[in-house]
Structures are given as C-alpha cells and as structure tokens.
Chain A
Amino acid sequence: MGELLQRLKPRWLEKRLEPADSPAAVAASVVLAVAAALAVTVVLFLAYGANPLAAFYELFHEPFGTLRGFGYTLAGAAPLSLIALGAIVCWRAGFEYLGFEGCFVLGAAASAWLALAAAPGGWLAGLPFPFFLALAIFASAAAGGIWAAATALLRVRSGGNEVLISLMANYVAIFFVQYLVSWPMRAPGSLPETAQMPRATWLPFLWHGGRAHAGILLAVAATLAVWALLKKTRLGFEMLVMGANLRAARYAGIPAGRRMVAAALIGGGLGGVAGMTELLGAQHRLMDGISGGVGFLGLIVALLARLNPLAVLPTAILYAGMSVGADAIERRTTVPTSITLILESLIVLFVLAAELLRRYRVRLPFSREATEAKEAKR
C-alpha cells in the first residue's frame, strides 16, 4: 500500500516534516477549500437548471446584502458563536465535551422559567430589565454549566468517557425539556409549548424592525472573555497545558480534575447562555426542538475556527448567513434548500481535508531548489 502511494505520488509533491502553520498557509488552505466546495456546488446548481451565478447571488445577497436578512444572520450567529466558544473552552482543556444540545435546552428552560416569573403577577414581576438580564444570564449559565460539570465529574471521579456520556446526556436534557413543555410549563392550547415570554423580558432588538438582538453583543463579550481567559489568566494557562499534555499538567502540579470541572462549568455555562439568547432573543417561547441542532452546528463552527476564539464570530456569521441564504434560494430559484446544506457540509469537509495540503510542498521542476539539487548532482 505504502509502495503504491509512493508510486502514485508525483515527483513534484514533497512531504513536509511539519505542516506549514503560518497564518498565510492556513488562510490559503481555507480559501482553497471554500473554492472547491463552491465548485462542486456549481455542478449541482447546473444539474437543477439554475444559473450558478444567479444562485450564488441569491445565496449571499439576502443574508449579507439586505438589512432584513443580515438581522436574521446575526440572530442565528449569536447562539452559534456562544456554543462554539463553550466548545473551545472545554476542548482546549482536553475535555472532549459534546453535550451542548443539552446545555442549550436547559439554559433556555431556566431562562423561560425566570421570564415567566417576571410576567405580571409572578414573583419577579416588575424587576428592572438589567437586573432581570443578569439573573437570566446567571441562571442559564448555571443550568448549562452544572449539566456539563456533571459529565466532567463522572470522567474525573470514575474515568467515564465524556464523549459517550455527554452525547447520551443530550437526550436526557431534551426529554426533560419535552416534559416541561408538555406538562408543568405548558400553555393552554394544542401545541406542547409555553406561553410567550413577557415582552419586558425580551432581549432588545438592535434596530427597529430587524430580528438581530442583543445576543450577538453577548457573543462579542464572551469572545473577549474566552480569549482573555485562555491567553491572560493562570487558570486558562493551566487548562491549555491540560489540553496539550495531560501528563505534563499532572506532573507540573496542576489539579487536573478540578480544572476540568472548571472548564466544563465555563463551557457548559456558555452553552446555557446560548439557549437563553435563542429563547429571549428569537423564539420567545420554550418548545420542544428549540435547539434545531444548534448544539452541534456550534461545534462545527468551533472546528472551522480552528479552536481560536477570535475566529469564532466571523465563522458563525458566515455559517448563519448561509442558512438564511438557503431559504432565499429556495424561494427564488428552482434549487432546493438541501443544496445549501450540501454546500455547508462540503465546506466543513474540505476545510478539514485541507489540513492535509499543508503537509505538502509543491516543488516544480524549474523551481530554485530543484535546480540547485540538479547542479549538486553534476
């Protein structure tokens, strides 16, 4: 097999000892990956008889070229980026947590409970919005954080596998919220959902008539906080050491178990706040299926951002924008929305596969090094 590969490999391709990891190389590989994904999509557009140029225009014009569309884009990007940031905290500390769906719905449920209590006659009625918001952030973060920390404790104490436990725990949390909206919190009516949250508890919209809400500002704040945590604090440094080399962390005297639980509290907490922004910013109603898989899409955003907190927001906005564009494309052309899903998936696949490109160097026959080598041979 190895020999076969050796033969198939063209002479002008040379393996690098270490992947090229300069920002330029990374950017180039991402651009190439996106271009490749777009190229494949062109073929699909053609297959549906759509003009690719027009289709791409629809795809990107609506979410980024119109104020209305951009509002939807920002509204979608807020929970996505909060979850991605939570994933970054967990993963870079070496805690491979995948339970953000659970954190998200529990965070949404906790803030729904608070918001309903703030309705006239409730025990929080009349609380000024800033206080209510602080309370909602705290409650949703606590719900998500404690939920994730439970998985971390299982790993630290009993050596459980956090990937399996957190995936399974997602179902528990989702069924729990299903129960909440079906019985205790159900509003009179045919659908299993709560009553609409009181207007006073909604996250403010960024501009009149747009769907963009203050959740995106929370995401910006969280970005800075996560960046500072990882770069500037001792706690963050110790987490990074754990993620890079758990044995070295233990050797250095870092209490790895406690730090892992801390990472879960912070990461899961961000997941919970993501649920809060979706509930109080966009849905205004707790219902079954409120997450719509955002707990996993956020992980993709984290991966595409290469676990760099500063890259999360742009990635999340691009990703959320493509979902908005997908709807537009279906409305205006003959192309089904699923093509956008395919495009999104292709981007993920190609970006991840493009890592491979950075392990090779192209060495053309007329390049400087090859010429030198030839001369040395003579």
Chain B
Amino acid sequence: MTAPAFEMRGIVKRFPGVTANDRADLTLEAGEIHALLGENGAGKSTLMQILYGLHRMDAGEIRVDGSAVRIRNTADAIRLGIGMVHQEFLLVSRFTVAENVALGLKPVLREGKGPWLGLAGVAERVRALSERYGMAVDPGARIENLPVGVQQRVEILKLLYRDARLLILDEPTAVLTPGEREQLFAALRRLRAEGHTVVIVTHKLSEIIALADRVTILRDGRTLTTVAAKDVSERELARMMVGREVDLEVKRTTTERGAAQGEPLLEARNLRVGNAIRGISLKVHAGEILGIAGVDGNGQQELAEALMGLRAAQSGEIWLRTGVSEASTAVRNLRGRSVAELRAAGAAYIPADRRGIGSVTEMTVSENASLIAPARRRFFRSRTAEEAAARGLIERFGIRVSGLGQQAGKLSGGNLQKLILGREMTVGAKVLIVEQPTRGLDAGAVESIWRELLRARAEGKAILLISAELEELLNLADRIAVIYEGRIVRELQGAGEGHEIAALRTEIGLSMAGAKKGGTQAEKANG
C-alpha cells in the first residue's frame, strides 16, 4: 500500500479565542476529487490555508508522498505542487492571460533568458495546457475582457503551469452560470484522469454528489468522517455537516398560487438606470415571491438599488402601495425619492453585501438592530430600546451572538444575515427587496433564511428575490424572471405541480447565459 499523495494529520490551529482546527485530519489520494464540507466556522478554510502556507499550524503534521514536509509559506506549498484558487480571483485585469501566468514565476520556470520574460514561450505552454485539459483560453486575451468562468480557468492554468499536483478550489461555482459550471466540472474530471488531486471547498451538496469521489466533513474544527460520495445522499451529508436533520426542500406554506396573491404592492415600469438597467418592468403582489434569476453583474444590484432609492434611475416609474400601516393605501410614483422616503413608504432591502452595506461591522449587534431610522427614537437614543429591539430579533430569528455588545462584524455570515433580515422584516415594511440572501451561507443558515422568507410571504409581504442560485429560486419563487444585460429576457412560473423542474432549470440556465427565448443552444461562455 503506497502512501497517500497528501496527508494532514492532527492539525491544530488556534486563533485568539478560537480553535479553528482541533486535530483535523485529511487524506488526499492522487487522481481524486475530494470535497471538503462543513458549516461556516468549521475550519475548512483554515485547514486549506495551512496546506497552502498562508497560516502556520500550531501542531500537526503534513506529509507529501509519505514524507513529512514543512510548509512555511506559499512558495513552499507551490514547490510541493500545491496550488489554490481563491474565491476572489487574483488576476491583474489589464494584463493578458499569458502575462498573468508569467507573473511571479520563479526564474527556473520562466521561458526567457536573463531579464527577458519570454512571454511567447509562456503563451505557447498555456495553449498546450489548455488544450490538454480542455480549458479553452486565448493566452493573448486581456483578463478584463473575459467572462468570470474563463478567468477561473486562467487561475487553474496558472497553477498547472507551476506543476501543481494538488489544486484547492474555494467555492468554485459561486460565480458561474450553470453552463460554465458544467465546463468546470468537465475540466476537473479531466484533471483527475491525469492523476491530479482536486479539493473543492463547498457548501453545495448537489455538486459534491455530482462531482466528488470522496467527502471529508469537518465540524467544530475536527474531522468528522471521510466517506465515498457515491454512498451518501444530500440529506445525509447535510445531517453530518450540521449535526441534525435539515430540511432542504422547504415547502411553501401556501400552495395555492394566483388566488392567494393580493394586489400589486411594488411595480416598476420601464425603469432605466444608466447602462445597467435597460427598461425593466415588473410587478410584485402581496403574498408573492418574484424571483430574479441571473448571473452576477447583469444589473441585479442596480435594480435593487434603484428600487430602494439608492441609485438614480434616469427614466421609468417606481410605484409603491405606500404606508406601513394598513390604513394608508395611496399609490405613488417614487422614482427619484430618497431612501428614507421609500422606507417610509414601506420598502425594505436586504443587500447582497452584508458587511459592506447591510451592516456597520464595527458597531455592536444592538446598534445594528436599530440602524434603520424607523426603528429609532426621534432625538435621544435609548439604550434600553435598542437592546430590547436586538433581543427581540435574536429571539425570534435564532441569532447566535456572544452578547448584545458584540461587534456585528464578528458574527458569522449566517447570523449577521439573520440580523439584517430580521431588522428589515420587522420595521413593518410591506415590500422586501432581497438580494442574494444565502450567498456563502451553510446549509443550516440557508434553511432558516428560506423559512423566514416564506413566513414573510405568508404574512402577505411582497418579496422581490434576486438570486444567482437557481435552486433557491426554484424552491421559493412563485414566478421567476431572468435578467440578462439589464433586461428581463424570460418570465416563467415557478416550479410547482405539473412543472418539470429539470426542464425549467435548463430553460432558466440557458436564459441566464443570454440565450434567446426558445433557443436550444447555450452560447459558449467564451468565444
């Protein structure tokens, strides 16, 4: 029996106040795709960062091909054939693909002699690698002109160029269209066939089942178990990861559609925002979730911000059935009004950027609970009122905090999101604009966010749910509109009785990639 290609044993890593890894183990064989699964804070990222030399472990051992090694920095890791693709790509957007690959190369690997870069030689090898692994990339193309899926290929090629045998991919599919995802999976399978080891760090259980050979589950910094992916179901994985039963198929509380829905509470008519939104009309009714599907950067954020008064719309109308209370039902065109006015008229917004927009990370939990003007007193602050508001949210939404005075930025993503969601849902708004509510959250948090959204729907709120996750929309939305380059290109009924979910998924997936209505072929993500 030969030694495993890469082995981490008894890894301990402590940070002030937290033990990120507590004797975690991980064994990686050559020629496998290995998924690393765990809730946020389970220690996945830390473990991978130790392997890639970004952190030093406090105790434990790393073996490569059976012999113990020391990884003090990323240069050591690269020398040992370990490479990592971060969630945020580290590419220079003004440089070409070849220039990016050449960046930071050791002189030995550089093609040129002496001071010369030898870019032509680099380009040649990039071309050869991309053909070998089926990852089409033009070495002369500038990064800024490439779609996200191709940029990711460049990151992978960078590693392969440095002779990486182990590729660590952190949440690789978060930014991809369904089509791009399939291409990525095909490339990873090709890598596996060539004897490479691939580690994917992910929350998405379906991808693990589809792609991985083995799964290692981390919980509380420890390795719970490693299982063969073909032997487990999504439900079992979720249970092992969270430590309890998780219901991933959240059923809508009211199954009737159409009749149950009330009058339209939010309506946009031919809205235009710069180049980002090119004439969007939509209606969201009381008790309805309208899903907006699309790959990031097709105008979703601009749409949400325009509807909330955070971004100026050049033309079009925004109609809101105004008034937080039942009594006031005036309908007003609110384009060009301030955020405060839109909020007063009954709109609330859960932005995608939880830490940059939705909260003030250096302020406390209770201050963040009272961030929104309607939740606060008129002139003097009241600490008791703020804390009561925070306590109410914590209790109702099951937010885990160490105390009301804890810095909001120190909450986990899921708890912070619950805090924001709870705050926006309890100020009495009738219209919720929700943008990427579960991005980066683990299964347990996703479940509770979904439940809350459905509860708000049952309470008769009108919800505009913007998401890049098809599963989320298929699970929650009554109707799904697909946004592409600032326009709604398709509008479909959500998955319900008599609807083939698979067919719907394909259709939406194609529209997200910009295929025309009824088109049968996915446009290649990259020309």
Closest to A14 in B: B56
Contact B380 A248 (CB under 8 A): no
Q: Which residues of chain B from 307 to 348 have a CB within 8 Å of any chain A CB?
A: 308, 310, 338-340, 342-343
Given the complex, which residues of B lie within 8 Å of A134, measured CB to CB? none
In the bound assembly, the distance between CA atoms of A232 and B381 in angstroms comes to 5
In the bound assembly, the distance between CA atoms of A244 and B308 in angstroms comes to 21
Contact A253 B360 (CB under 8 A): no
Contact B357 A248 (CB under 8 A): yes
Q: Which residues of chain A from 184 to 215 have a CB within 8 Å of any chain B CB?
A: none
In the bound assembly, the distance between CA atoms of A247 and B357 in angstroms comes to 5
Closest to B344 in A: A253
Contact A251 B362 (CB under 8 A): no
Given the complex, which residues of A lie within 8 Å of B362, measured CB to CB? 244-245
Contact of A373 among B12, B338, B349, B356 (CB under 8 A): B12
Contact A248 B358 (CB under 8 A): yes
> From residue B245, how far is it (CB to closest CB) to chain A in Å?
34
Given the complex, which residues of B lie within 8 Å of A377, measured CB to CB? 59-61
Contact A376 B59 (CB under 8 A): yes
Contact of B358 among A235, A251, A253 (CB under 8 A): A251
Q: Which residues of chain A from 237 to 285 have a CB within 8 Å of any chain B CB?
A: 237, 240-241, 244-245, 247-248, 250-255
Contact B371 A247 (CB under 8 A): no
In the bound assembly, the distance between CA atoms of A308 and B455 in angstroms comes to 43
> From residue A202, how far is it (CB to closest CB) to chain B in Å?
36
A367 within 8 A of B: no
In the bound assembly, the distance between CA atoms of A244 and B364 in angstroms comes to 12
Contact A245 B58 (CB under 8 A): no
Given the complex, which residues of A lie within 8 Å of B358, measured CB to CB? 248, 251
In the bound assembly, the distance between CA atoms of A18 and B362 in angstroms comes to 12
Given the complex, which residues of B lie within 8 Å of A3, measured CB to CB? 73, 75
In the bound assembly, the distance between CA atoms of A373 and B12 in angstroms comes to 8
Closest to B423 in A: A252
Given the complex, which residues of B lie within 8 Å of A8, measured CB to CB? none
Given the complex, which residues of A lie within 8 Å of B379, measured CB to CB? 233-235
Contact A233 B380 (CB under 8 A): yes
B475 within 8 A of A: no
For A, the interface residue count at a CB cutoff of 8 angstroms equals: 31
B10 within 8 A of A: yes
Given the complex, which residues of A lie within 8 Å of B372, measured CB to CB? 252-253
Contact A233 B357 (CB under 8 A): no
Contact A245 B361 (CB under 8 A): yes
In the bound assembly, the distance between CA atoms of A236 and B376 in angstroms comes to 13
Contact of B381 among A237, A250, A252, A361 (CB under 8 A): A237
In the bound assembly, the distance between CA atoms of A232 and B61 in angstroms comes to 53
Contact of A253 among B338, B361, B367 (CB under 8 A): B338
B248 within 8 A of A: no
Given the complex, which residues of B lie within 8 Å of A241, measured CB to CB? 360, 363, 371
Main secondary structure of the interface of A (DSSP, over half): helix
In the bound assembly, the distance between CA atoms of A236 and B373 in angstroms comes to 13
> From residue B376, how far is it (CB to closest CB) to chain A in Å?
6
Given the complex, which residues of B lie within 8 Å of A6, measured CB to CB? 72-73
In the bound assembly, the distance between CA atoms of A240 and B52 in angstroms comes to 39
Q: Which residues of chain A from 3 to 23 have a CB within 8 Å of any chain B CB?
A: 3, 6, 16-18
In the bound assembly, the distance between CA atoms of A377 and B56 in angstroms comes to 14
Contact of B359 among A17, A237, A248, A254 (CB under 8 A): A248
Contact B363 A240 (CB under 8 A): yes
Given the complex, which residues of B lie within 8 Å of A250, measured CB to CB? 310, 339
In the bound assembly, the distance between CA atoms of A17 and B372 in angstroms comes to 30
In the bound assembly, the distance between CA atoms of A247 and B349 in angstroms comes to 13
In the bound assembly, the distance between CA atoms of A377 and B10 in angstroms comes to 9
Given the complex, which residues of A lie within 8 Å of B381, measured CB to CB? 231-234, 236-237
Q: Which residues of chain A from 305 to 328 have a CB within 8 Å of any chain B CB?
A: none
Closest to A11 in B: B56
Given the complex, which residues of A lie within 8 Å of B356, measured CB to CB? 245, 247-248
Contact A248 B360 (CB under 8 A): yes
Question: Contacts A6-B72, A244-B360, A248-B360 given: A376-B58 contact, CB under 8 Å?
Answer: yes
Contact A253 B343 (CB under 8 A): yes
Contact with A along B198-239 (1 / 0, CB 8 A): 000000000000000000000000000000000000000000
Contact of B378 among A232, A234, A247 (CB under 8 A): A234
Question: Contacts A248-B360, A253-B340, A376-B10 given: A16-B380 contact, CB under 8 Å?
Answer: no
Closest to B375 in A: A252
Given the complex, which residues of B lie within 8 Å of A252, measured CB to CB? 339, 371-373
B116 within 8 A of A: no
Contact with B along A119-141 (1 / 0, CB 8 A): 00000000000000000000000
B149 within 8 A of A: no
In the bound assembly, the distance between CA atoms of A234 and B372 in angstroms comes to 11
B377 within 8 A of A: yes
Closest to A231 in B: B381
In the bound assembly, the distance between CA atoms of A251 and B343 in angstroms comes to 10
Contact B371 A17 (CB under 8 A): no
In the bound assembly, the distance between CA atoms of A236 and B381 in angstroms comes to 9
In the bound assembly, the distance between CA atoms of A376 and B392 in angstroms comes to 43
B444 within 8 A of A: no
Given the complex, which residues of A lie within 8 Å of B308, measured CB to CB? 251
Contact B377 A234 (CB under 8 A): yes
Question: Contacts A234-B376, A241-B371, A377-B59 given: A255-B360 contact, CB under 8 Å?
Answer: no
Given the complex, which residues of B lie within 8 Å of A251, measured CB to CB? 308, 310, 339, 349, 351, 357-358
B114 within 8 A of A: no
Name B residues whose Cβ lies closer than 8 Å to a Cβ of A. 10, 12, 14-16, 23, 58-61, 72-73, 75, 308, 310, 338-340, 342-343, 349, 351, 356-363, 367, 371-373, 376-381
Ordered by A's residue number, 11 sampled pairs between the chains whose C-beta atoms are within 8 Å are A6-B73, A232-B380, A234-B378, A241-B360, A241-B363, A245-B359, A250-B310, A251-B308, A253-B373, A376-B10, A376-B59
Further pairs besides A244-B362, A251-B351: 13, Cβ < 8 Å: A18-B16, A233-B380, A234-B376, A237-B367, A245-B362, A248-B359, A252-B339, A252-B373, A255-B338, A369-B14, A373-B12, A373-B59, A377-B61
Name A residues whose Cβ lies closer than 8 Å to a Cβ of B. 2-3, 6, 16-18, 231-237, 240-241, 244-245, 247-248, 250-255, 361, 369, 373-374, 376-377
Instruction: Enumerate the 6 nearest inter-chain pairs by beta-carbon distance, A residue then B residue, closest first.
Output: A376-B59, A253-B340, A253-B339, A373-B58, A253-B343, A245-B360
